Amino acid sequence: MNNSLSKVPLFHITRRKELPWYRAWLIRVIAVIMGLILCGIITMFLVKINPLDVYKTMLSGAFGTSRRIWVTAQNMAILLGISLALAPAFKMRFWNLGGDGQTLMGVLGATTPMILLGGKVPNIILILIMLVCAVVAGAIWALIPAAFKARWNTNETLFTLMMNYVAIQLVSFFVVVWENPKGASKIGIINQDTMAGWLPQIGNNQYLLNILIVLVLTVAIYIYMRYTKHGYEISVVGESEPTARYVGIKVKRVILRTMLLSGAICGLVGFLLVSGTSHTMTTTIVNGRGFTGVMVAWLAKFNPIFMILTSLLLVFLSRGASEISTIYGLNDSFGSILAGILLFFIIGCEFFLNYQIALKKTRKEVKIDA
């Protein structure tokens, strides 16, 4: 008989029971404070600037004037719209990284009738045609990887990611076809004189209609995911496909239906970008929001109401970082570094919300007979 000693580890990680909401938010607040302290230390030592002045500049960059507030709200609405599109898919554990491509196809779907039919049909009819084309284009673009996943169990992460690049090339092709003036390699503002295909303004606020549409969409998606049979099926499929099949849920149908919805919402956001915001089409019009939207949805635990807060946070950090670089004449990367540090703490605190570290209480020796 040989005796060997097995030492108890110094600590072990266990999954935490769900915390009350107030404790969870307290941990998040502590994480933000720690991130701000570290950003302040870095600011003082690297660029010799008072960190409080830096934070004031960030606030000014996002909310300093009424114009900045409206731009921040508009950026938040677009990001929130894409995040809402991604949330059902991710809740179902379908890793849809194609938000950029699906939104770009919505942009292309809205731009096509805007250019070809502008001035030829009444504006309200043109806007409806643009909306339908954008939604259908986004839905089809999302349905392609969903069909391959449902039929042949392909890797949806790579599939949706590569579809983004195909969408970029399609948009790039049509930008050249419709470039104005010829040789400019850009379309410019579409129907600038007639405003055909432009969403109407509410009062003097150019972006208010966009924001209201996204807010209505937020409430609709919240109800859909929380109180409908389809939302329940999405949750069950996300938890366990075998369990879903056992209780009679048709998993393939749920995958197709959910991705159809996801792509349609992305298409709607593409329509808002063209008709209600930029009034043009470029390959960079989405600006990577399809990937940022993943973070927004994940931080909010796929809760559409909480996504309002997380999307506002990320837009604030982005605009604040840009303002820091402009006001203090710093490298553009410095503001992004500060924003990245804050995000690191915010994302890192999610570990402590889901897991706890248990330290060893006593040093024990366990005899194991071999």
Both tokens assigned to 289: 């929001």
Is 285 domain-assigned? yes
User: d(Cα 303, Cα 311) in Å, to the nearest integer?
Assistant: 12
> What backbone phi and psi angles, to 5 degrees, belong to 284?
-110, 10
Query: What range defines the domain where residue 111 resides?
Result: 78-302
312-352: pLDDT as tens digits: 999 999 999 889 888 988 877 888 888 889 889 988 888 88
Q: pTM of this prediction?
A: 0.91
Q: What are phi and psi of 207, to 5 degrees?
A: -100, 0
pLDDT at residue 369 tops 60: no
What does pLDDT average to over the chain? 91
Instruction: Report how far residue 357's alpha carbon sits from residue 15's, in angstroms, rounded to the nearest whole number.
Output: 9
Is 48 a domain residue? no
How many residues appear in the chain?
370
pLDDT tens by residue, 151-199: 999 999 999 999 999 999 999 999 999 998 777 778 999 999 999 999 9
Tell me, yes or no, whether 170 lies in a domain. yes
- Let me know if residue 260 belongs to a domain: yes
- How many structural domains comprise the chain? 1
pLDDT at 370: 40
The residue type of 288 is G
Question: Is residue 11 in some structural domain?
Answer: no
State the Cα torsion 135-136-141-143 to the nearest 10°.
110
320: in domain: no
pLDDT band (50, 70, 90) for residue 353: confident
Tell me the β-bridge partners of 365.
7
- Please, which pLDDT band fits residue 361 given cuts at 50, 70 and 90? low
The secondary structure of the chain, three-state, reads CCEEEEECCCEEEEECCCCCHHHHHHHHHHHHHHHHHHHHHHHHHHCCCCHHHHHHHHHHHHHCCHHHHHHHHHHHHHHHHHHHHHHHHHHCCCCCCCHHHHHHHHHHHHHHHHHHCCCCCCHHHHHHHHHHHHHHHHHHHHHHHHHHHHHHCCCHHHHHHHHHHHHHHHHHHHHHHCCCCCCCCCCCCCCCCCCCCCCCCECCECCHHHHHHHHHHHHHHHHHHHHCHHHHHHHHHHHCHHHHHHCCCCHHHHHHHHHHHHHHHHHHHHHHHHHHHHCCCCCCCCCCHHHHHHHHHHHCCCCHHHHHHHHHHHHHHHHHHHHHHHHHCCCHHHHHHHHHHHHHHHHHHHHHHHEEEEECCCCCEEEEEC
pLDDT of residue 8: 64
Does the residue 359 lie in any domain? Answer: no
**Cα→Cα distances 334→30, 166, 278, 324, 331, Å:** 23, 33, 28, 8, 6
Q: Is residue 355 part of a domain?
A: no
Average pLDDT over residues 271-291: 96
